[in-house]
Chains A and B, each alone.
Chain A
Amino acid sequence: MSEREEVVELKQNYWSYVKRQFKKNKRALFSLYFIGFLVILALSADFLANEKPLYCKYQGKTHFPVLKSYAVDMGLAKWPPELLNVRWHELEYDSVLFPPIPYSPSNQDKYNGMFKSPTEEQRIKSKRWHHWLGTDQMGRDVFSGMIHATRIALTVGIVSMSIASFIGILLGSLAGFFGDDGLKITRIAFLLNILFFFLAIFYGFSTRSFILSDALNTSMMSFIVQMFISFAIFIGVMGIANLIAIPFRKIPWIGEKINLPVDLMVSRLIEIMVSIPKLFLIIAIVAVMTNGSLFIVMAIIGFTSWTGIARLIRAELLKVRNLEYLEAAEALGFGSARRLLRHAIPNALSPVFIAVAFGVASAILIEAFLSFIGIGVPADIVTWGSLLNLARAEPSAWWLAIFPGFAIFITVTLFNLIGEGLTDALDPKLKK
């Protein structure tokens, strides 16, 4: 067996070991399956709760309105004139199949407004149209809202934690791998980098500020594109700085190498972030944004939650970086980028998984809270938090307090349980 194969097999062994350990934990495994169920629920929300029929025959023609609405949203198709802006519930169909819950979250049932309880008499055609979890003041179906809100909650959790783990892993691994004496650059490069940093911000963001703000007002997609261009300019300018520094290497004083205390800088940054209570910071930032959107909320949660991950990976890399196998990699002549990416980080990732699982739970909680107090998340988006908020306005509407709150609780608990399971599975202390 060659050396390479052996390494591969060891790796498989570790992860299959983790998998086995995780599977032993029945609660965590159940949570994982349940999360899978929630994901399916979120993906198929349009087919489960929708005012549009899944299938219908109208004026002699067969339609699949739910599927069609996807095509229309993507600009691939247009509604036929007889179905444009119609009240789907009131059409005279030849034959029709509605989704299990025949209401969209924003659908206002004018006969069942003003907080209809699930148990009381509802003005409906038949049991098929019953609002199983009641309605709110405007007659919107709570069940439908909750199903669609699953999608929002999971998206928020996953997107914001992706942002957080990207920043956290980047900064944490730089700090842990290089420490205070690992990264050496020449004096001239250091000076040029500082100087060009301002220039890069100037060309990347200041001169483009109007383009960026206009893009934000038109659509999220164009904003992301413009942001990407800005970052490209930023990186380009920084690249020029380092290119200019190359010829100066040979000059005595300015060409000398100095230590860059990466660890110190990152640690200070983390301390600053941690000293402001997260929720205060998030609320203040969200409040400054004039036009709130879900993506901004996710981004802000991501940008404020990376500290835990950064700390973990930093601590792990500080341990790992002095191990023999990294010295061996250095002796083999591998560059620091390769040693960091291929050798160091993969061995320090396991605590990050745990942090991410707990982080998703807390991100969902924060989003629910923000929409609960009505800051940041646009008012027309139905989320668990905004549904729960309605219960504050109408204390007798118990169904608005119980069901959305329970959904938040369950989702948060599931992610916490997964986090616990991962901790047990990955913790070397329990390896016996």
Chain B
Amino acid sequence: MIISLLTFALSVNAPGDPVETMLSSQNSQGQSASLLANDKAFVEKRRELGLDLPIFYFSMASKATSDTLHRVPKRSHRQNLERFIERYGNWPEVQDYYQSLSAFRFAISDAKKDSTNRTHLINGKDALNLLFISDEPEKQTIELDNLEESINGAASLAHLKPGFQKIRDSYNKMTSNPTTWKKYVPVINFYGTDNQYHRWFFGDKALFGAKEGEYTSAGFIRGDFGISYQDERPVGSIIWDAVRWTMLLSLMSVVITYLVAIPLGVDSAISKGSKKDQIITTILFILYSLPSFWIATMAIVYFCGGDFWDFFPPYGVGGDVPADASLWVKLKDRAHHLILPLFCWTYGTFAYLSRQMRGGMVSVLNQDYIRTARSKGLNERTVIWKHALRNSLLPVITLFASVFPLMLSGAIVLEIIFSIPGMGKTMFNAIVARDYPIVFTVMMFSAILTLVGYLVSDILYAVVDPRISYK
């Protein structure tokens, strides 16, 4: 729940205007009809995505700001208006000014272009666009003068003069009556449940009897993660494809890790102090410190084409075998692709776990009850594998909770290097493309998976240690 707040806070502060990336609209060049259509499409898309709503249930703002600012469609305009408010603190006047500017924008794009006014018109539009996105008084006056000059320059633009006069007036009004004190008076606005966060997390779909088209989102907790900004696919299906790969590889490597680490740790603990133990410990320590992205890069340089050997394919997960190939061929193809990633995925945690296992085993072997077991005449095998192992397993199993997030983090690294379409790769691509619904859904998922990891280790705890029970 709180994680959802955190990820949401991040996504709201994310730069870039999603609607702009989706529409990639050519703004303000062209006739007012198309301009109007453009603006309409923009507003429409915003409504569809729910971005015209207030952000949260309530907001704390100063008296100077407006509670309707979030309805201004363009992000750059919105930010500039905020700057105006910061400077003058009088929202009604700022609003007037913005409206006169917008009205003038339609008027100027309606103006007929001909040979006499072409340059003037272009200059005027440029000046107008700058008026929308600058807030310093010097720049504003310069651009206002530019605009005036270009309108006066051609006789055919005379009909724009009243509109311009209105801009001038509202600008003067805004600058002459600043109420900056209002900035320092805090006001709390309440918006109710019709806000972006509520819609994103809980959705606005009715619990029962909701009809298609009446709602925009079922909400995160009901499995609707929104749509991707890149290709408008539902995020849910994108993530599902990705989670499968990550889970497959993570689980495989967890299993391998435990299968190798436990015997190795035990073995090294039994022969503590011997040459064998020293060698194993040193190798494990080196493996533990080797950064996996270095090993992965080295593996690609040396084993995947390049100037050296060509054993393995450098990227992908395979799967481009004929559909009618036998199961064995398919499996072989997958395995061929996955061996290197799986190795890089596993060795770090495996070294870590073996070291822990060895440490646990060594301290258990010094306990009194082991001596008792030995003096009872039990053979060494039983003592070690039955008495000692069970007790030293406990800390290693709890480590599952911390190994699992490690695996997920490792996933980002290796999926990017080996181009495996898992969660990490998806997240990386989404970040590069500034596709935030995916980024934050992946984050939520990784958090949920981590919590599941904790749960599993709690359950394992109870299984291994009969003293612990959850009642």
Once the chains bind, are B289 and A284 in contact (CB under 8 Å)? no
From known contacts A375-B431, A401-B301, infer whether A276 and B86 are also in contact, taking CB-CB under 8 Å: no
Contacts A203-B184, A395-B301, A409-B289 supplied; 17 other A-B pairs, CB < 8 Å: A198-B60, A202-B186, A206-B60, A206-B62, A207-B184, A275-B450, A280-B408, A280-B442, A283-B412, A284-B7, A284-B440, A287-B14, A375-B428, A388-B297, A398-B301, A402-B298, A409-B290
From known contacts A276-B446, A277-B450, infer whether A396 and B298 are also in contact, taking CB-CB under 8 Å: no
Contact of B340 with A by CB under 8 A: no
Closest CB of chain B to A202's CB: distance in Å? 5
Q: Nearest chain-B residue to A372 (Cβ)?
A: B293
Q: Nearest chain-B residue to A280 (Cβ)?
A: B446
Contact of A96 with B by CB under 8 A: no
Can you give 13 A-B contacts (C-beta < 8 A)?
A202-B60, A272-B2, A272-B6, A275-B454, A276-B450, A278-B409, A284-B439, A284-B443, A288-B10, A369-B413, A395-B307, A409-B289, A409-B294
**Which of A397, A398, A413 is within 8 Å of B289, CB to CB?**
A413
Closest CB of chain A to B428's CB: distance in Å? 7
B405: A residues at CB distance < 8 A: 274, 277-278
B293: A residues at CB distance < 8 A: 368-369, 372, 388
**Which of B183, B294, B451 is within 8 Å of A408, CB to CB?**
B294
Q: Nearest chain-B residue to A392 (Cβ)?
A: B297
Q: Nearest chain-A residue to B440 (Cβ)?
A: A284
A287: B residues at CB distance < 8 A: 14, 431, 434, 439
Q: Nearest chain-A residue to B11 (Cβ)?
A: A288
B291: A residues at CB distance < 8 A: 365, 368-369, 405, 408-409, 412
Bound: A290/B434 CA distance, A: 11
**Which of B314, B434, B442, B450 is within 8 Å of A395, CB to CB?**
B314
Q: Is chain B's interface secondary structure helix, strand, loop, or mixed overall?
A: helix
A199: B residues at CB distance < 8 A: 186
Bound: A395/B291 CA distance, A: 18
Q: Nearest chain-A residue to B408 (Cβ)?
A: A277
Once the chains bind, are B307 and A284 in contact (CB under 8 Å)? no
Contact of B137 with A by CB under 8 A: no
Bound: A391/B295 CA distance, A: 12
Bound: A215/B306 CA distance, A: 47
B-side residues, CB < 8 A to A, are 2-3, 6-7, 10, 13-15, 60-62, 82-83, 86, 183-184, 186, 285-286, 288-291, 293-294, 297-298, 300-302, 304-308, 314, 405, 408-409, 412-413, 416-417, 427-428, 431, 434, 439-440, 442-443, 446-447, 450-451, 454
Contact of A285 with B by CB under 8 A: yes
Closest CB of chain B to A55's CB: distance in Å? 38
Question: How many A-B contacts at CB < 8 Å in the complex?
Answer: 135
9 tightest Cβ-Cβ pairs between the two chains A and B: A405-B294, A395-B306, A279-B409, A413-B289, A287-B431, A396-B307, A277-B405, A290-B15, A401-B301
Once the chains bind, are A275 and B427 in contact (CB under 8 Å)? no
Once the chains bind, are A288 and B14 in contact (CB under 8 Å)? yes
A279: B residues at CB distance < 8 A: 408-409, 412-413
Q: Nearest chain-A residue to B454 (Cβ)?
A: A275
Contact of A379 with B by CB under 8 A: no
Closest CB of chain B to A184's CB: distance in Å? 26
Closest CB of chain A to B135's CB: distance in Å? 9
Bound: A281/B431 CA distance, A: 12
Once the chains bind, are B83 and A210 in contact (CB under 8 Å)? yes
A173: B residues at CB distance < 8 A: none
Chain A CB within 10 Å — which of B289, B431, B434 has the most? B289
A369: B residues at CB distance < 8 A: 291, 293, 413
B443: A residues at CB distance < 8 A: 276, 280-281, 284
A368: B residues at CB distance < 8 A: 291, 293
**Which of A283, A398, A416 is within 8 Å of B431, CB to CB?**
A283
A395: B residues at CB distance < 8 A: 300-301, 304-307, 314
Bound: A397/B289 CA distance, A: 24
Q: Nearest chain-B residue to A279 (Cβ)?
A: B409
Contact of A264 with B by CB under 8 A: no
Once the chains bind, are A280 and B409 in contact (CB under 8 Å)? yes
A365: B residues at CB distance < 8 A: 291
Chain A CB within 10 Å — which of B6, B13, B293, B454 has the most? B293
Closest CB of chain B to A34's CB: distance in Å? 14
**Which of A276, A280, A405 is within 8 Å of B297, CB to CB?**
A405
From known contacts A206-B61, A207-B184, A288-B10, infer whether A388 and B294 are also in contact, taking CB-CB under 8 Å: yes
Once the chains bind, are B428 and A373 in contact (CB under 8 Å)? yes
A396: B residues at CB distance < 8 A: 301, 306-307
Chain B CB within 10 Å — which of A274, A284, A290 has the most? A284
Chain B CB within 10 Å — which of A202, A279, A280, A368 has the most? A280
Bound: A409/B405 CA distance, A: 22
Bound: A290/B183 CA distance, A: 27
Once the chains bind, are B3 and A272 in contact (CB under 8 Å)? yes
From known contacts A199-B186, A207-B184, infer whether A280 and B294 are also in contact, taking CB-CB under 8 Å: no
Bound: A413/B10 CA distance, A: 34
B286: A residues at CB distance < 8 A: 413
Bound: A346/B454 CA distance, A: 33
Bound: A52/B294 CA distance, A: 32
Please provide the chain A residues from 116 to 136 with a CB less than 8 Å away from any CB of chain B in the complex: none
Once the chains bind, are B83 and A401 in contact (CB under 8 Å)? no
Closest CB of chain B to A215's CB: distance in Å? 14
From known contacts A276-B450, A280-B409, A405-B291, infer whether A398 and B417 are also in contact, taking CB-CB under 8 Å: no
